[in-house]
Structure 1
């Protein structure tokens, strides 16, 4: 069974861990592992520091804000690892993206960890969706962008195991398109008052 490390135990990290419990070997990476032992036990995972979690894993999910993920990317032993970036590089006041159009959070993380196999994903999903039944999200797409086809396929299987559908958008530069979609979802959810029980989808209409 594949071992998946989730680094960061905020709402997104914990939500994804709940959905993946029993579907993959879970290792949780935390800044304070001792404080996360109870949660780790609840999802059948082990918890340790970030570096040890990376070393134990086949797939590493950076469930961290963009700035924190970027700071860690060059320090962790990510060589050869499949690394999933779920961040949106939002401004401090959530008024928009801090970077975009000519680059993306995912591409900047790839530059910081050039030997990792970066895949963008989950950035258009609010954490509250993880608390709904998987049947409710079975048709909600997670958009995946990455340059390594095998890595994207591996993350696609993780996405399906977590109860979502998959939409592949091509190479990692596709993150330049997917991250603004995440920002649009944030605007709908918070700025326009639609709440967090929403997600963008992709309809395929019959010809």
Structure 2
């Protein structure tokens, strides 16, 4: 697939690494061209300015903080015919809480800013887990997926599985409210409780 990753921080860089390793045609973009170029060169991807980076993309990974999402989407221009993957969480300044959650979510708010279907995914995983790849010693790392668009969700599930990750369908985009809370708990466990960043939430089903 042709994938544009917006953002080159820890999460964005990890996404570029894994998508490129899976054989996808990846373009990196962001506010600072030099930052995007460095990550692109490191992982064998392309880089482009914000206003043209998504022109030929099928999927756009929005790997920027929630507070920067509106600005990033505006800079990308029209995303008609594309799919947006939202990996963000609406975190407080100390990363130990969420700024919204009971009546909306980052995923739902981002969906209001674009005509493209939005799929919530990857937000429950630390960047270090993404960077390390899809497999823990006991099982494939699960990615929770939520969207109101079945076709978009199916495309994203295919993308995720191509990267080696497992997927768990969590229903409509409204359920991003729960996924973002799970991410908040995972952040607490990793940092607040001192368990480190090589942890990830999973869903078990008895056979």
Native 8 Å contact 2:29 2:47 kept in 1: yes
Q: Which residue of 1 is the match for residue 27 of structure 2?
A: 27
Q: Which residue of 2 is the match for residue 42 of structure 1?
A: 42
Say which SS state the counterpart of residue 112 (structure 1) adopts.
coil
Q: Which residue of 1 is the match for residue 70 of structure 2?
A: 70
Distance 1:143 1:155 in 2: 11
Alignment pair present for 1:126 and 2:139: no
- Residues 107-161 of structure 1, C-alpha deviation per residue, up to 9 Å, x if partnerless? 0001111x11100000000011133254338522111100111100111111112
- Residues 142-200 of structure 1, C-alpha deviation per residue, up to 9 Å, x if partnerless? 11100111100111111112221100111111111111001110110111111100000
How many residue pairs match? The answer is 204
- Stretch moving more, 75-84 or 173-182: 75-84
Native 8 Å contact 1:61 1:83 kept in 2: yes
Could you list the runs of 5+ residues in structure 1 that have no partner in the other structure?
none
**CA positional deviation for 1:74:** 4.2
Q: Which residue of 1 is the match for residue 15 of structure 2?
A: 16
Distance 2:108 2:164 in 1: 26
Distance 1:27 1:131 in 2: 17
What is the CA RMSD across the aligned residues, in angstroms?
1.6
**CA positional deviation for 1:94:** 1.7
TM-score, normalising length: structure 1: 0.92
Native 8 Å contact 1:30 1:47 kept in 2: no
Distance 2:133 2:106 in 1: 30
Distance 2:199 2:110 in 1: 27
Distance 1:77 1:144 in 2: 24
Distance 1:172 1:133 in 2: 26
Distance 2:7 2:150 in 1: 26
Q: Which residue of 1 is the match for residue 87 of structure 2?
A: 86
Distance 1:141 1:176 in 2: 18
- Residues 16-54 of structure 1, C-alpha deviation per residue, up to 9 Å, x if partnerless? 111111421101112122343243123221101222111
**CA positional deviation for 1:73:** 2.6
Native 8 Å contact 2:186 2:201 kept in 1: yes
